[in-house]
């Protein structure tokens, strides 16, 4: 299963960014199509067998970063909206279309630009996520985003020249793949019948670029401060099944990344170790033809550009969705009718 989500972008400034995104997307699809999932233990995992899944959802996305030196938070906006999507088991993509419904207080705030591409691939053995984000136009606030109100936020200082580009590619191997389904926990395209969990281990790649112009402390007088990190991670994921239809999913991942600076300070060329934290959670009510639930993702990337410049990047996503399963094979439909008659 894959998920692809793309939003608006600037044509001239985003050419290189789009090329990287396309290359990573093609590579990601190729890798996950190599590994074909064999049958899991049917006592623990149920395949629904339907051909098409249609979903409707509401969402709230937030990306912010904090300058540790000044203590200020930089928030692009409080992005909320509605969307629809579908997933066909014969295709590798889960496609969603979203419409922003956030209220904008003034015409001058319309310059906020967002690119948000998400690609997810889950099978029996592996789970991987790629997030490619570009936010232009940030508010300066001394209050963290989840405590901010739109009205109060739009009264803060606005920096139209500030932009953040973040590429995250995180992959992990699932050890207990016979009994645990990552796809059932986070997408509900399968069903976990008995509670099970699995340790995971993997690697991650991060690219961070902050264009701050005069709005933020510069690194060696560069308008752009950039870094590319690579590291390893480990964690645990668990599906807790209770009642006839309820499933609670939780996944935690802690990584350590070594930093290779694109722009290095002449007086500070040390290779630094930075932590990263990824947390996912979901709750589902699963029926034969329907699933309803809420999913949450939280990513924290710690990046030290210089001994005097440390940035914490927070990315949070919350979705409430309703999934309808369609087009079951005829043989399965007949077997369901026979079972009901008995």
Residue 144 contacts residue 64 (beta carbons within 8 Å): yes
Least-confidence region, from 272-276, 298-302, 332-336: 332-336
Q: The tokens of 48 are what?
A: 């629904």
Q: Is the pLDDT of residue 54 over 90?
A: yes
**Percent of the chain residues past pLDDT 90, beyond the cut:** 23
For residues 198-226, average pLDDT: 74
39 pLDDT band, cuts 50/70/90, is: low
- What CATH number is attached to the domain comprising 19? 2.40.128
Domain assignment of residue 296, given as a range:
3-341
Q: Is the pLDDT of residue 235 over 90?
A: yes
pLDDT of residue 102: 60
For residues 10-29, average pLDDT: 53
d(CA 320, CA 308): 40
Least-confidence region, from 22-26, 98-102, 138-142, 239-243: 22-26
Q: Provide the total of helices (H) and of strands (E) in the chain, helices listed first.
A: 4, 16
22 pLDDT band, cuts 50/70/90, is: low
CA atoms within 13 A on the CB side of 301: 29
C-alpha separations of 252 from 32, 134, 153, 167, 171 in Å:
22, 25, 31, 20, 13
Residue 46 contacts residue 59 (beta carbons within 8 Å): no
pLDDT of residue 61: 82
| Residue of 141, 153, 159 lying closest to 212 (CA atoms) | 159
Least-confidence region, from 112-116, 163-167, 258-262: 258-262
d(CA 263, CA 270): 12
CA atoms within 13 A on the CB side of 308: 8
For residues 128-145, average pLDDT: 80
Q: Give the count of domains, the chain.
A: 1
Kindly report the average pLDDT of the chain as a whole number: 76
Q: The tokens of 287 are what?
A: 């029926």
Tell me the per-residue pLDDT of 137-183, one tens digit each, with 9 for 90 and over: 888 877 766 666 666 666 777 777 788 888 888 889 999 999 999 98
Residue 137 contacts residue 113 (beta carbons within 8 Å): yes
For residues 43-49, average pLDDT: 89
At residue 111, the 3 state secondary structure works out as helix
pLDDT of residue 270: 65
């Amino acid at each position: 299963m894959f998920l692809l989500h793309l939003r608006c972008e600037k044509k001239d400034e985003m050419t290189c960014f789009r090329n990287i995104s396309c290359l990573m997307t093609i590579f990601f699809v190729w890798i996950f199509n190599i590994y074909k999932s064999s049958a899991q233990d049917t006592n623990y995992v149920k395949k629904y067998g339907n051909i098409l899944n249609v979903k409707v959802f509401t969402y709230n996305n937030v990306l912010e970063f904090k300058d540790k030196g000044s203590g200020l938070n930089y928030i692009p906006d409080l992005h909320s909206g509605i969307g629809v999507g579908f997933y066909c088991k014969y295709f590798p993509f889960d496609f969603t279309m979203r419409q922003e419904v956030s209220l904008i207080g003034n015409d001058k705030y319309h310059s906020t630009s967002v690119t948000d591409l998400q690609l997810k691939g889950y099978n029996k053995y592996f789970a991987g996520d790629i997030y490619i984000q570009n936010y232009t136009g940030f508010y300066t606030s001394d209050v963290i985003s989840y405590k901010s109100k739109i009205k109060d936020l739009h009264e803060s200082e606005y920096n139209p020249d500030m932009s953040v580009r973040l590429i995250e590619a995180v992959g992990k191997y699932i050890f207990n793949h016979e009994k645990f389904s990552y796809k059932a926990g986070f997408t509900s395209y399968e069903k976990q019948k008995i509670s099970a969990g699995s340790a995971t281990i993997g690697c991650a790649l991060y690219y961070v670029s902050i264009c701050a112009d005069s709005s933020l402390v510069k690194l060696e007088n560069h308008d752009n401060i950039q870094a590319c990190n690579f590291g390893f991670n480990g964690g645990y994921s668990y599906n807790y099944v209770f009642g006839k239809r309820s499933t609670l999913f939780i996944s935690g991942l802690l990584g350590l990344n070594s930093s290779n600076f694109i722009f290095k300070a002449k007086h500070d060329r040390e290779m630094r170790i930075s932590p990263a934290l990824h947390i996912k959670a979901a709750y589902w009510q699963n029926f034969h033809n329907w699933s309803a639930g809420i999913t949450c993702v939280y990513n924290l990337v710690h990046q030290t550009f210089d001994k005097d410049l440390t940035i914490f990047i927070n990315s949070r996503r919350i979705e409430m969705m309703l999934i309808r399963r369609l087009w079951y094979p005829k043989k399965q439909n007949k077997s369901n009718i026979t079972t009901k008659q008995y």
